[in-house]
């Protein structure tokens, strides 16, 4: 792939923009989908938020100041779009974001696009026990393999605070898994 500065130049050039944006979609669509899906839970909602994310990316390319990588910038947009979606759902149902997430988790098992097993469903339930920030930080670090500084940039938080949230989440997950015997069940299989 060409270097990022050239790619961004193509994205903002009228002559090359369409082809470059198609390449951007190809490169990032799946990664951003899974990043969003971990936040909004269901496939249908993730698809809607992903579409809104790419619309916002497209409209904002001319304003991209390159203070972070293109990857981090788009993750931040996807994160913000996901939170905006959850907030809108919260307003519709007068619930907290956690209650909205719980509602979607309840429908996850019936989701034809969810191909996880019982252990993955239990992990999702355990993740919902975390605070919203802990869950988001854990998912970005564990699933998306983002660096702490990238996560800090995306959610606009100090890197040390991000690390605190992540390690707190890991400890909670470990404690939950060992307290309910998940590890013994896994060892028996």
CA distance 63 to 168: 36
CATH class of 1-115: mainly alpha
Mean of the pLDDT values across residues 162-177?
A: 90
Query: Can you give the pLDDT at residue 93?
Result: 65
Q: Write phi, then psi, for 27 (nearest 5 degrees).
A: -70, -35
Q: pLDDT by residue (tens digit) across 6-57?
A: 999 999 888 999 999 999 999 999 999 999 998 888 889 999 999 999 999 9
Query: Can you give the pLDDT at residue 180?
Result: 58
Residue 34 near residue 143, CB atoms below 8 Å? yes
Widest Cα–Cα separation across the chain? 60
Q: Write phi, then psi, for 94 (nearest 5 degrees).
A: 55, 40
Query: CATH 1.10.10.10 occupies which residues in the chain?
Result: 117-189
Q: Does domain 117-189 have CATH number 3.40.50.300?
A: no
The tokens for 122 are 């239990």
Predicted confidence (pLDDT) at residue 97 exceeds the cutoff of 70: no
Mean of the pLDDT values across residues 116-139?
A: 78
Query: CATH 1.10.1740.10 occupies which residues in the chain?
Result: 1-115
Query: Can you give the pLDDT at residue 29?
Result: 96
Least confident of 42-46, 161-165, 176-180: 176-180
Model pTM score: 0.71
Local confidence band at 167 (pLDDT 50, 70, 90 cut-offs)? very high
Q: What is the mean pLDDT of the chain?
A: 82
Local confidence band at 94 (pLDDT 50, 70, 90 cut-offs)? low
């Amino acid at each position: 792939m060409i270097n990022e500065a050239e790619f961004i130049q193509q994205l903002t050039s009228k002559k090359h923009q369409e082809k470059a944006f198609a390449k951007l979609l190809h490169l990032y669509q799946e990664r951003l989908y899974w990043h969003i899906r971990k936040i909004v839970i269901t496939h249908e909602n993730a698809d809607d938020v992903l579409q809104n994310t790419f619309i916002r990316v497209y409209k904002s390319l001319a304003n991209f100041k390159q203070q972070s990588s293109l990857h981090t910038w788009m993750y931040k947009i996807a994160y913000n779009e996901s939170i905006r979606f959850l907030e809108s759902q919260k307003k519709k149902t007068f619930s907290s974001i956690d209650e909205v997430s719980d509602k979607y988790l309840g429908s996850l098992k019936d989701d034809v696009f969810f191909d996880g097993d019982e252990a993955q469903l239990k992990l999702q339930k355990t993740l919902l026990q975390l605070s919203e920030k802990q869950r988001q930080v854990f998912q970005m670090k564990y699933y998306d393999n983002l660096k702490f500084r990238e996560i800090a940039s995306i959610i606009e938080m100090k890197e040390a605070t991000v690390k605190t949230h992540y390690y707190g989440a890991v400890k909670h997950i470990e404690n939950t898994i060992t307290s309910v015997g998940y590890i013994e069940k896994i060892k028996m299989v």
